[in-house]
Structure 1
Amino acid sequence: MFSGLSAFPLTPLNEKGIDEAVFVRLIERLNAAGVDSVCALGSTGSYAYLTRHERLRVAQLAVQHAGDVPVIAGIGALRTRDVLELAQDAQKAGAGGVLLAPVSYQKLSDDEVFGLFDAVTRSLSVPLCVYDNPATTHFEFSDELHGRIAQLPNVASIKIPGVPADPEAARARVDLLRALIPRHVTIGVSGDAFAATGLNAGCEAWYSVIAGLFPQIALAITRNAQAGNAREATGLSGRLAPLWALFLQYGSLRVIATAAELRGLVATPCLPLPVKSLQGEVRQRLAAILDELELA
């Protein structure tokens, strides 16, 4: 579950609620593609904007329609109390694992974050992935903190926010973290532009935004990296450079949501206000990029 390609789908919604039928189709699309896991309620799934009931429903739908593909459910929330409730909901829904980011309004200390993971992991009956995403949480994990958390029960993976672009520096980065965590805890790369480099450098998993919508190209990158075809994996990722540039400039959620709208896979709008998909010239530019890359 915490190796290979983990696809992070959108949760299509508007101010009236979640578009359940469209979400189911996105999950079935990932099942048919053969991804290694589905992570519902990640940042791409807009988890922070949903009520507890909505999150439970999304987890239930993902499990019901993912077939044999294991489902990971995001459980991040502002209070430890709420995270514990969400963890119970995810387990009751049948999720095979959970994903936890240290979400907070107040800046957290290392001890506070460790306390969060300590409380949550001791209440779980399923494995947990540590979600290191400073772009959204504004908390930066040290390698030492990762090492402490990785010793807790039920911790199975660490999702790091990218690696250096230089292959040797990327391998050194992964090796440094690997030396501090147990062998059974996998290291997964996120930040799609860094995925090929991270996989080639020894990351066992790719936690992927693009795979949630266009799983075939993400699978091609992943399988080549797993087979030791580093040059092919890097080349496939390089073709997507125009898309990665938009991710960096506008945020991967807005870009992938706009791509889903352009390809008719979701209704418009599909994001929780005040967040909006791309409009105007940049929307037209994205449409041209999707056509050029033949992403459908």
Structure 2
Amino acid sequence: MDVLSDVVAAMRIGRPHSARHYKYAPWGRHFGATDGAGFHVVLRGSAWLIPDGGEPVALAPGDVVFLAHGQGHALASGLDVPLQEVRLLSDGTWSGPPPGEPREGCADTVTLCGTYRLDRDRAHRLLAELPQVVHLPAHVGSHRSLRAAVDLLGMELEELRPGTDAIVTSLLDTLLLYILRAWWESERAAGRARGWSAALADPAVAAALRALHGDPAQAWTVAQLAATGGLSRAAFARRFTALVGEPPLTYLTWWRMTVAGRLLRHDDLSLRQVAARTGYTSEFAFAKAFKREYGVAPGQYRRGVA
């Protein structure tokens, strides 16, 4: 399994949303804090990202900013521009002024903005380690896959055509993965890789993560996981704990319960089948472990999210 894709799939809920905005100076929008995550891309012109309580970030054409933790922030043409308040609605869209259409004359700034709904109750350490604002400046030749996804998304949002809804949803999921990959690659290139960004780059730890993500039902032992990376049991346990933040089998239990929650939300499997897919030999043992993790029984959890 691809660990990064697996983690994002487990946390993402509902449909992502995106819009292309045409802006004529002066302009400014303030986005309140949310439980989700969001991004802004400057397609043309310039803008200021102003995080609540943080330092402003000047954005140039092609720049991408990602707010992984739903921090309140503003996007504006200048630092002293009055801001119009917008808020996130229950369907994942934002209230406030519509995106706008091109009018006579060229818009000063064109942006691409999007939101993702996340299950914060199962926040993965991998995303939790991201800074409040991930800024990926546009550099010639850098993050080419990310730039290509941005271009495709921008074109789809420019004109409604057959298949646009499905294409935009897929592109938004793809864009999220490209943003995360670009940031972790930048951290490693700059010698700043720590925690999960270092874990995914470590051959032994990454091999173990792929193994347990690929088959969470397997009765893994620390020795078996160590063997996937060619390390001794003790050396592997120390390295895994240092990078991931918890021992291998503790992480395995947490991941099994995360998978169980996803199956209960999205599949019609019986509790016995969910138990088997997450490494439990009996429905009773699974239900006990699930209630310890979530605070409710599996059936009650399923009814609550239905």
What TM-score does the superposition give when structure 2 sets the normalisation length?
Answer: 0.27
Choose between structure 1 and 2: higher helix proportion: 1
Query: TM-score, with normalisation over the residues of structure 1?
Result: 0.27
> Which of the pair is proportionally richer in strand?
2
- Bigger Rg, structure 1 or 2: 2
